[in-house]
Structures are given as structure tokens and as C-alpha cells.
Structure 1
């Protein structure tokens, strides 16, 4: 087991160093993410100038937008294309001959790429805090549980991304899959607009999916929209989705490798 963790750590480190070598990506992510956050702040400030809507006032919305920036940067800044390319160019056939678990290795690489976005997150959050002075968590317990929810975003993001990438075994294309996944995630997670603003039936659809746990869950905990018991329930659901997708990906991959095609060979 110690050897297994050492291998995982090596994959995380290599992926992290590979991403950190391209410092321009930090600047681009900060400019794009920060710009989107500024636009959202301006938009919601005008919309909420007359008072609270669906349980959100200007104070709580500032915190919500920053949480959305954090989760969006972590998820959309990760290196999903690197994994997809290994399938599309046939390198997966070589990976299968190595004494390393393919899914576990890709998970370590993905987490490493997510960690590489942390400097962007830190700079963006500090800047937003100085500019907009959002409220703190409703309680110390809520703050701790919010951090735990954000940590659970790592396996959750990998599960959704990896499952979507495995579709490449059949489609031999990834760009459209990526666009669809990011559109669904951005909408049903609440990154675009809080789920509370949606019709009740659409909220029910959203909460039947894993996407709300990227933004709606940590925001609800942070802002005190759920009590401690409710927060623990949301965290349990978030963890369950992560475990379920890990197991589901195992089953899909087992079937998908039967369709491995080495292009040009």
C-alpha cells in the first residue's frame, strides 16, 4: 500500500510540475475567471438592489459568487485533455501493459492539475475579498464543513470528467463531449445562477444529479441555508457521488478497453 501511495504521489507531482511550467495559464485563468466574477458582481448588485430574491441578498450573493469562482477555477482549470489524448492517440494501449492502475494514475494526474490552479484561486479570492468584502461563514462549524465540501470536489470532479472522457472510446472525439459536460456542470451546479432561482421541477432535476455539489452545496453550508444536520447530509451525498462514479468508471473502463484502437497501427 505504501508503494501504491508513492506511485500516486509521483503522478501528482509530475502533473503539477507540468502544469506549473506554463505560468501563462495562471494569468489567463485569473483574467478570465476574475473578469467573469466582476461581471457577475455587477449584474447581481443591480438585480438585488431592491432587496433579497429567493433567499439571497447582496451580502450573501457576494460570498456565493466567490465560492463559484473557486470551484469553477478548480474544475475548469484541470487537465482533462491530457487524459483524453491518451485514449484518442492510442497511448492507452501502452498504459495497459504497465503495472500501474490506469484509473488511479489518471486520478492522481488530474488531482495534480487541479492543485496547480490553487495559486489562481488564492489570488482571485484575496482580490475579491479586498474589493467586495463578502461576509464570512455563518459559523465556525459551517466554515469547516465548507472546506470539507470543497475538498470533496476533487474526487467528484475527477469522476465526472473521467466518465465523460471514457466516451471517447466510442466517439473518437472529445471536444463536443467536453462542451456538453461543462455546459451541464455550469448550469446545474449553480455556477451560472443559484438553483433557488430555478423552477421547483428544475431544482429537483438538478439535485438528482451530482452537479449541485460543486457550488450549491458549499455555498448553502457557508451561508447557513442548511443546519449542521443538513450540511452533513449534503456532504454524505457528495461523497457518495464520488465513490459511486469511481466504481461506475471501473465498470465502464472494463468494457471500453475492448474497443481500444491504436490509430495508424
Structure 2
């Protein structure tokens, strides 16, 4: 199948989500509750001090908004689609079509993510920004770099989640894999606690793993916690991770296809 045909999967995924409008309201409400809960925690933590290691309460409120609703992408749809296709056997239909299954997942999840960003994330950001406040980017260069980091964030999570999801070909279930990845992402991505508040040895290790490019580094760039040389350096490292994970995903899918044939006899 030609590459030009794949965007149709993005449009279909986006349009299919329009049929479940009640999920939008519940999604906005749930995201607002989680966001304000984190803001309340950090407000209490900064109640007796103006700043901690150069980080202020407005910094943390903005970090919560960026690393939370904007960048803390939901991994469940990524893994659920793979697990459901394996459980029902529908994945075999994709093998009979002239398309690349991970590529189909990429464009399908792009549609789902675009829908959630427009209908859930954007309203939450507007509501919280108007009620609590949101700091602007540290500068024009940081704002431009943040957009690049935002794109890397999504692709990075897609690769990580799809790699974990493809393990369902071996364990035959995706439910436990989803919980496993969500637990890792909550800590290693910096979505809940920024790496700058973690013990130095742990932060040094997590800062070199691909999870940090999902939430921590984009948020740090937005706030100016990374100067421009450091931001450019980590941008390059993030691109290297994308190449490594993309290659591993391609290899894993080639193995998974053979695994599926063995299961089918």
C-alpha cells in the first residue's frame, strides 16, 4: 500500500471518536480533577518557601499542565488496540493486506491523539490557565524547540507503547502490559515528579532513558530549565533514541509475525 493511503486511517480514527461524545465530558472532568489534585499537592509543598532549587510554584503549576494533560499521553489505546487484535485474531487480516501493521497503528493512534488533544487537553489547559495561571515559554527559541520536543514526545511514546504491546504475541494478554508500562512511565518520564527533584544518581540514570523525552525534557525546555545548548544536545539524543527504538520495533514485528504463524499451526 502506498504511504499516501495511511492518512485515511488517521481520519477514520478521528471521526470514529466523534460517536462517543459522552466520553469527552468524562475525559475533561477526569483530567481536570487529576490536574487540580497535582496543583494542590505542589501548592502545599511550596507553602512555606518561595522556591526550591530555583524552582517556583508557578514553575511547578506550569510543569503540571505540560507534563500532565499535554504530554502525559495515555498509553492504554496504543496497547489495547494490539491486544484486542491478537485476542480476536483480527491481526491476521492485517497480514493479508498490503500494509505495514505498525504503520497502521501509527496513523490510527495519530487520529486518536489528535481528537483527545483538541477535545480534552485544550479545554483543560484553557480552564486551568484562566483559573490558576500558566507561564509563557522561557523565550522564542525555547518555544520553537518545545514544539519539536512535543513531536518527539508523541513518537517516542508510540514506539515504546507499541513495542510493549507487541509483547502480547508472546504473553497473549495486553492488560498486564498496560499496567506495567503505565507504572514505569509515571516515574521514569517525570510526569509526576520532575527529575530535578529526584536523587541525583536516579535522575542521572532516568535522564538517559527514552522515557524522559516523553514528559520531562519537553517541559524543562518550555520552562527554560535547559539552556539552548543543552536543549539542542538532548534534542539530538532524542532523535537517536527514535532511530534505535524504530529499528527495534521493526525487528520485533518481524519476529512477532513468525510467532503468529507458529500459533496458528
> TM-score over 0.5 for the alignment?
yes
Q: Does residue 19 of the first structure (1) align with residue 17 of the second (2)? A: yes
Unaligned runs of 5+ in 1: none
> After the TM superposition, which of the residue ranges 167-176 and 232-241 deviates more from structure 2?
232-241
Write the deviation string for residues 33-63 of structure 1: whole angstroms up to 9, x where unpaired. 1111101111111111212123321111111
Q: Which residue of 2 aligns with 1:173?
A: 173
Q: Does residue 105 of the first structure (1) align with residue 104 of the second (2)? A: yes
Q: Which residue of 2 aligns with 1:238?
A: 238
* Counterpart Cα distance in 1 of 2:261 and 2:22: 34
Write the deviation string for residues 113-166 of structure 1: whole angstroms up to 9, x where unpaired. 111111211101101110111221111111111122112222111101100011
> After the TM superposition, which of the residue ranges 104-113 and 25-34 deviates more from structure 2?
25-34
How many aligned positions are there? 263
Query: Normalising by structure 1, what TM-score?
Result: 0.92
Query: Normalising by structure 2, what TM-score?
Result: 0.92
* Counterpart Cα distance in 1 of 2:46 and 2:14: 40
User: 1:66 offset after TM fit, Å?
Assistant: 0.6
* Counterpart Cα distance in 2 of 1:73 and 1:219: 11
Q: Which residue of 2 aligns with 1:153?
A: 153
CA 146–164 in structure 1, closer or farther in 2 if over 3 Å, else same: same
Q: Does structure 1 conserve the Cα–Cα contact (< 8 Å) formed by 2:78 and 2:162? A: no
Q: Which residue of 2 aligns with 1:74?
A: 73
Unaligned runs of 5+ in 2: none
Q: Which residue of 2 aligns with 1:249?
A: 249
Give the secondary-structure state (helix, strand or coil) at the position aligned to 1:260.
helix
* Counterpart Cα distance in 2 of 1:55 and 1:111: 36
* Counterpart Cα distance in 2 of 1:89 and 1:54: 52
User: 1:188 offset after TM fit, Å?
Assistant: 0.8
* Counterpart Cα distance in 1 of 2:191 and 2:52: 17
Give the secondary-structure state (helix, strand or coil) at the position aligned to 1:117.
helix
